[in-house]
Amino acid sequence: MRRFPATVGMMAILLATVVAGVEARADHAAAVSSYRDGNALFDQDRFAEAAAAYSRAIAEDPQYAEAYHNLALATEMIERQKAIKAWRRFLDVAANREDLKYDVGRARARLQLLESMPALPEPMQPSHYVSAAGDYYWTVSSESEGNEWTSFPVKVFLGSAPQLKWQEGAREAYDNWSKVFPLELVALPQGADIRIGWHESMIGEEHVGEESDWLQTRYEGGGLKGRKYALIRVDLSRLWSKDEMRAIMSHEIGHALGIKGHSESKGDIMYWQVQESIRQIGTPRIPLPLFWRSLVKQPSQRDINTLIRLYNTAGSSKRFR
């Protein structure tokens, strides 16, 4: 039997190792490309497409911990059980990486929170999120975290307004939100989660910004029987129209449901103020200024998307770059 020199065998092993390394680098390069595609899609709120891109990255590099992390974030806006599995896989892959030890700790806490979150009613499921509309989640997420309701439907007491037009405006606001969030009217304030305090004094209160309405979270009872409720109060010294009252109540109910900050867009019910504008109406010689109030009639899809995202994500962690 012919024998090959030992050096030839060593060279063959070295060549195989080099080839394997080149292939591994090629696979990781492909994984990075898919990962970057996923990040771009995630930033466009296209969560299902982002998850598919992250999954391709993982298929190309099964040890790609960052891809598992971002996959878990994207999948929270698709289906909770899949997100839980992705978080567990991230913890497995990243467990021994020193550079990710803080992220592993945060992921463990996030996983525990996600597993303990209550089942959500149909209107709040991620399937109702409309990617094309976007949201303002990152504007309000840190302030809103932990303010979601955990039992449904959320009960609302409208009370008796001093004027019929205000009562009608409040009811229209309730009707608009009840189309997209599980709400239920109750006859007595004691059984309500959200209460309108028409006769609650606002004297001495410090208002936020230019809002003429005010929402506070209060607690009644103690120990295991204690419960929180949201109290909405309105400055009734102004002669609000029915439409203005509908806009005010729609905005405050949005706060009470868990959106604690404000939108930056005037098209959203959660924009920080009722806008007042001036338009010049041209005549042959004299432009006449016309004042009017721009009132959003109901929650926008961005408002709804933001609420859905708040209820389906376990905190405000950002994706890896």
Please check whether residue 136 is in contact with residue 213, taking contact to mean a CB–CB distance below 8 angstroms.
no
Tokens at 286, concatenated: 């004299």
Nearest one of 210, 214, 199 to 163, comparing CA atoms: 199
Tell me the C-alpha distance between 277 and 293, whole Å.
Answer: 7
Structure confidence at residue 173 (pLDDT): 98
Q: Is 90 exceeded by the pLDDT of residue 314?
A: no
Distances in Å between the Cα of 65 and the Cα atoms of 47, 83, 87, 214 are 18, 15, 10, 45
Structure confidence at residue 212 (pLDDT): 52
At 153, is the pLDDT very low, low, confident or very high (cuts 50, 70, 90)?
very high
Tokens at 45, concatenated: 């709120």
For 127-139, what is each residue's pLDDT tens digit? 999 999 999 999 9
For 160-205, what is each residue's pLDDT tens digit? 999 999 999 999 999 999 999 999 999 999 999 999 999 876 555 5
Tell me the C-alpha distance between 137 and 306, whole Å.
Answer: 5
Higher per-residue confidence, 219 vs 254: 254
What is the residue extent of each domain of the chain?
6-116, 145-312
At 10, is the pLDDT very low, low, confident or very high (cuts 50, 70, 90)?
low
Give per-residue burial for 114-144: e unless 16+ CB within 10 Å, then b.
beeeeebeebbbbeebebeeebbbebbbeeb
Architecture of domain 145-312: 3-Layer(aba) Sandwich (3.40)
Architecture of domain 6-116: Alpha Horseshoe (1.25)
- Phi first, then psi: give them for residue 184, nearest 5 degrees: -145, 130
Q: Is 50 exceeded by the pLDDT of residue 73?
A: yes
Give per-residue burial for 308-320: e unless 16+ CB within 10 Å, then b.
bbbbbbbeebebe
Distances in Å between the Cα of 53 and the Cα atoms of 81, 92, 235, 279 are 19, 20, 51, 48
Q: Tokens 């120990």 belong to which residue?
A: 223
Higher per-residue confidence, 120 vs 2: 120
Tell me the C-alpha distance between 47 and 313, whole Å.
Answer: 12
Neighbouring residues of 317: CB distance < 8 A, sequence distance ≥ 6: 73, 106, 110
Structure confidence at residue 201 (pLDDT): 64
Nearest one of 171, 166, 156 to 215, comparing CA atoms: 156
**Helix 6-43 × helix 47-60 angle, to 10°:** 180
Q: Do the domains 145-312 and 6-116 match in fold? A: no
Residue count of the chain, please give it.
321
Ranges 91-95, 147-151, 198-202: which has the least confidence: 198-202
For 199-244, what is each residue's pLDDT tens digit? 876 555 555 444 555 889 998 877 666 789 999 998 888 899 999 9
